[in-house]
Amino acid sequence: MIALDTNILARFYVDDPNDPEAAKQRPIARAIMTNNPSLFVPLTVVLELEWVLRAFYRFEAPQIVSVFEHLLGLGHINTEESERVAAALPLTTAGMDFADALHLAGSDHCEALYTFDDRRFARRARRLGCAPPVRVPADETPVAPGNGCT
């Protein structure tokens, strides 16, 4: 099995006509993606690829979701925590930041996800009816943690 870095996936999914280096690398990326029977994509690469697509190539959420749906559909590619990535995609489509959607999808076994400054994340998760709920503890009545002492 061969692991892939973000730049291989970016070259495979993005045709950047303004970058001569990309023009040379794209056919190599295609060959890697199509000629290897077993490839691995770490979760950190998934997160970084979303950032590159959004921040550098200016992809919109539907384009990003389409890339990840395609990637997850390739049978010879094992994406780390693929179920978590898949669970984040509908939330991303609904307007949630992809990283936040991944945080939430990875916290489904918890009773809540706390954040200090991301009230937008909390509001969006509440509007979408996400579980666990996203809470901003600074907005709530402080609760002293139990320490087992009486």
Question: Which range marks the domain in which residue 77 is found?
Answer: 2-138
Q: Does residue 150 belong to any structural domain of this protein?
A: no
Answer whether residue 146 shows pLDDT above 70.
no
pLDDT at 149: 38
Question: What's the whole-model pTM score?
Answer: 0.84
Q: Is the dihedral of CA 92, 96, 100, 103 positive or negative?
A: negative
The domain total for the chain is 1
Q: Does residue 93 belong to any structural domain of this protein?
A: yes
Answer whether residue 121 shows pLDDT above 90.
no
Pair of tokens at residue 87: 């669970």
Q: Does residue 79 belong to any structural domain of this protein?
A: yes
Q: Does residue 149 belong to any structural domain of this protein?
A: no
pLDDT at 123: 84
Q: Does residue 145 belong to any structural domain of this protein?
A: no
Query: Cα 58–62–66 angle (5° rounding)?
Result: 100
Q: Does residue 29 belong to any structural domain of this protein?
A: yes
Contact 53, 10 (CB under 8 A): yes
* Gap between the Cα atoms of 141 and 46, Å rounded: 36
Q: Does residue 16 belong to any structural domain of this protein?
A: yes
Place of tokens 């749906």: 69
Q: Does residue 147 belong to any structural domain of this protein?
A: no
What is the per-residue pLDDT across 33-56, written as a single tens digit (0 to 9) for each? 999 999 999 999 999 999 999 999
